[in-house]
Every structure is written in C-alpha cells, then in structure tokens.
Structure 1
Amino acid sequence: MSRIAANPIPYWASAGKTREVFDEAFADFHAIGFTAVKADVPTGMTPPEYRAWIGGYGLSPSLSLFNSPFDDSVTVAGEVEKARRFADEQTALGLDRTMISSMAVPERLDRPAVGAAFDEGRLTRAIDMCGEVCRALAAGGLRPLHHSHVGGVFETEYEITRLLDDLGPDVIGFGPDTGHLRWAGIDPAAFLRRYADRLGGIHIKDVFPDHLEGATLSYREATASKRLWAEPGLGVVDFDAVLAAIPASYDGDFMIEVDEPSVESKLESHEMSYAWARRALADRVTQ
C-alpha cells in the first residue's frame, strides 16, 4: 500500500536547510501522523545517519527529486556525474525511483506558466540531456519519473509531452505535480490518464485561481502572495477526477506539498492537508 508523505519545503524555503529547521518539520510531521518524508540528505550527512535521524521521528524516506535546469548553464557530463552520486545516495536509503525536474530558468521565473522565451533548439538539447541523466539514474538503480514544474524548461503541455514522448517509457516515467500542471493550464486528470501506465509517483498540490489567468507576478511574487498554493481541497484542482485517473495498480506514495501555506502556521497547514488526505485516500494508503 502507498503512504501519505510530506515535503518540508515550506519550512526551509525561507529559513534554509539547517538541522534546526528540519527538526521542527520532522517533529510536526510526527505529531500529525505522517510516516514518510521526502528524502533529502543534508550535505555532510551519510544516508545511514539521515535514515536514523528521521527514524527518530517515526519517519522513513520517500520519493525525492533530482533537479537540473537542463539548459546551457550546465553540461551533460556534469549532470550525469551528479546523477550518479544522487542515485548512490537514494538507493542507500532503500529507494528505487526518483522524480526528475527542470526549474529555476530565469526568464520563466520572471514570467511563469506561459512558456516564456520558448526555443525549439533549447528544448531539443534539454530533452537529450535529460535522457542522458535518466539513463545514469537508471544505471544506478533508480527509475526516473518526470516531475512537472513551472519555471523550468519543461513547463508547458507541449514541452512536457515532447519530453515524455521523445524519450519514451523505457527511459523516463511519470511523476506529476497536480498544482504545477494546473498552473500551467494543463488538466491534471486528463494528463494522468494519458500517461497512467508510466505513473510512479505524485505530488498532491492544489492551487487557488487568483494567479492562473493573465497573471503578471513573478514566480516568487505569486508564491509569496499566499494566494497561489492551496492546501488540498481548498483550490481548483479536481481531485475526484485526479484520483479516479490513478490506476488501482499504482504503488507509489502520495506526497503532500504546499510550498507556501495559505494559513500562517506551517503545522496547521500540514494538519489540514493530512486530514484531507486521510479522507480522500482512505482506500489507497496504509495510514
């Protein structure tokens, strides 16, 4: 059975990835009832040390993310080497898959969700580079799953489908984010149905409608407004349709992710999200 997992991104996004910040997040997750957390091993810590650390809070590692801009600011050789190290770390935690994503392309952070400064050549080069990284991850024991993310080179429906269709299921699977898809104008449920046979992970994320149409804010401004990301069930993502599109054979976790809570308390945000997940996923998860 799958688990309800949590991503501590709202804890570290502004405060930094310190021991104290993660301790706060892990303590909150344990108090709420989560048993799995996105696996991010801090610099200077070994996988066994990390596993023991989160285990002290009753948590075990869940699906992580390999991130690269996949643009001309990095090289294929450099990203492949990074992928090999990442695979060694993640498999040492007992994981067999990872999400893979592009984010933080400057012009797309300035004008998010519209495919700003599209360039066919850049897209082709990014697909080729991503393919090489996926093969390195697979050789290291991890199944790569494309993770949709506004602000990256694979942002729009055309770009994501090009990536998935050009590389094919033998090279890359599917690990979507429902909120990022919806922000980019893509129907998450329809997209899930299209690539259901490649689904290996999912981020459960909701969005408010405020910045979805004709928005002029940058990525960071929209996030900081607290009217972009929503706790599941409060926004406009049709989760009934999303869950209906997920095959009964799905064996991955359901990871809750609210980058910037709509309420002041991070603890309250995760309590709300967990309560929703317990109701919505009652027949799909172990908790």
Structure 2
Amino acid sequence: MSRIAANPIPYWATAGKTRPVFDEAFRDFQEIGFTAVKADVPDDMTASSYLSWITSYGLQPSLSLFNSPFDETVAPADEVERAKKFAAAQVGLGLDRTMISSMAVPERLASPAVGAGFSPARLDRAIDMCGEVCRTLAAEGLQPLHHSHVGGVFETEHEITKLLDDLGPEVIGFGPDTGHLRWAGIDPAAFIRRYADRLGGIHIKDVFPDLLDRRDLSYRAATETKRLWAEPGLGVVDFEAVLAAIPPTYDGDFMIEVDEPSVESKRESHRMSFEWAQTALAGRVSP
C-alpha cells in the first residue's frame, strides 16, 4: 500500500545536505509518524549505509529525483554518466522508480511560472536529452517519472505535455507536483487525469493565492515571503479533485513537500502536513 512520505527540503535548502541536518529531520519525522523519506544518499555514504541510517529512525526510502537543467549548459554524455551513478544508488536502496526534472534555468528562476525565454529549439534539445537520460535510467532498473517544476525548461503546460507526448509512456512516466502545476497556471486534477495511466509518484504540495499572479518576484524572493508554499489544505489546490483523479490502482507514495513552511517551525509544518494527510488519504495509505 502507498505511504505518506516526507521530503526534508526545508531542513537542507539553506543549511546543506549534511548529516547533522538530516539527523534533525529524521528525528522529527520519526516522532511525527512518517515511515518513508525521499532517498537522498549523501556523497560520502553508500546506499547500504544510508539505508541502515534511515532505518534506525524507523524510515524507509521513497522515490528521489534526478535533476538536470537539460539545456546548453550541460553535455548529454555527462548527464548520462550522472544518471548511471544515481540509478545504481537508488536501485541499491530497493527503489524501482525516480522522478526526473529540470529546475534551474537562470532566466526562469528570475521570472518564474511564465515560460520566460521560450525557445522551440531549446525545448526540442531538452526533450532529446531528457529522453536519453530516461532510457539510461530505465536500462539501470529505474523507471523515470517526469516531475513538474517551476524554474526549469519544462515549466509551462505546453512544454510539459510536449515532453510527455513526444517521448511517450514507454520512455517516461508521470510524477507531478500539485503546487508547481498550480503556480504555473495548470489545473493539477485535470492534468493528472490526462496522464493518469502513467502516474507513478506524486508530490503533495499546496500554494497560497497571494503570489500566483505576481510577475515581479524571482523564484527565491517568492519563496522567502512564506506566502507561496502552503501546508496541504491551507492553500488553493483542490485536493479533493486531485485525489479523485488518481486511479485506484496507483501504487506510489504520497510525498508531502513544503519547500518553505508558512509557519516558523519546520517540525510543526511537517506535523500539520502529516495530520492533514492521515485524514485526507485515509484508505489510500498504510496506517
């Protein structure tokens, strides 16, 4: 059965992915009741030592994310090699799928959620490169699922649908983020229904309405206001419709992700989110 998983991003986003930072997050997750966590293996750890580490907190690995700009700043051959190493660690943890995303194109971080600097040629090149990486991940035993993310080359509805439609279900699955879709002006429920047969993972994220129509804030500035990302149920994402769009055969986890908590305490943000998820996802997740 699916699990309620946690992404410790607010712990490490500014402090870095260090063991003390993860220790704090894992302690909090254990006390709150989470049983699964996004699998981020530190560079100085093996997959087996990481697994032993998180297991000591009562946690199991949940699907992670392979991130690349998929633009002219990276070479396809280099990204393929990174994908092979990433896949080896993830498969070593017993995982069979991963999200794959683009999230760091400078002009789009400066002007997020509007498809800044759109170029058909760049999009085609990015799709080709993403396809090559997806095939590499699959060959290593890891099913790739596209993960929507504002700030990347696959940001708008046109860009995401072209990626998914051009590559097809045999190359790439679907692992949406409800908050990023909503920020980009896409109806999460409708989009999930469109690609429901390819759904293998999901990030449960909410957004406040305050900044959805602002065009004068960078990605970082919008996040730092604490009025962009919301704990699930506090924002404008229609989760009743989202959950109705998810097929009963869905076998992935429901990963809670609040990049920048709207409350001061990271632990309290996760407690609120877990409490909401236990009610909203009753019958869909392990007790």
Query: How far 1:18 sits from its partner (Å)?
Result: 1.0
Deviates more, 1:10-19 or 1:159-168: 10-19
Matching residue's letter, 1:7: N
Q: Percent identity?
A: 79
**Structure 1: 5+ residue runs without aligned partners?**
none
- The list of structure 1 runs, each at least 4 consecutive aligned residues, that deviate by more than 2 angstroms after superposition, is none
Matching residue's letter, 1:106: P
Give 2:104's aligned residue.
104
- Partner of 1:54, secondary structure, is helix
CA displacement 1:186-245 (0-9 Å, x = unmatched): 000000000000000000000001110133110000000000000000000000000000
Give 2:242's aligned residue.
242
What is the rounded CA distance, in whole Å, between the counterparts of 1:214 and 1:55 in structure 2?
42
What is the rounded CA distance, in whole Å, between the counterparts of 2:7 and 2:275 in structure 1?
16
Query: How far 1:16 sits from its partner (Å)?
Result: 1.0
What is the rounded CA distance, in whole Å, between the counterparts of 1:27 and 1:61 in structure 2?
15
- Are positions 1:276 and 2:276 aligned together? yes
Give 2:21's aligned residue.
21
- Partner of 1:237, secondary structure, is coil
What is the rounded CA distance, in whole Å, between the counterparts of 1:209 and 1:79 in structure 2?
36
- Are positions 1:79 and 2:79 aligned together? yes
What is the rounded CA distance, in whole Å, between the counterparts of 1:15 and 1:77 in structure 2?
31
Give 1:143's aligned residue.
143
Query: How far 1:176 sits from its partner (Å)?
Result: 0.1
Correspondences of 1:113-262 after superposition (within 5 Å) = 113-262=113-262
Aligned length: 287
Matching residue's letter, 1:50: Y
What is the rounded CA distance, in whole Å, between the counterparts of 2:150 and 2:211 in structure 1?
13
Give 2:2's aligned residue.
2
- Partner of 1:85, secondary structure, is helix
- Partner of 2:13, secondary structure, is helix
What is the rounded CA distance, in whole Å, between the counterparts of 1:159 and 1:98 in structure 2?
20
What is the rounded CA distance, in whole Å, between the counterparts of 1:42 and 1:21 in structure 2?
11
Matching residue's letter, 1:87: A
Give 1:63's aligned residue.
63
Q: Report the RMSD for the aligned CA atoms in angstroms.
A: 0.4
- Partner of 1:66, secondary structure, is strand
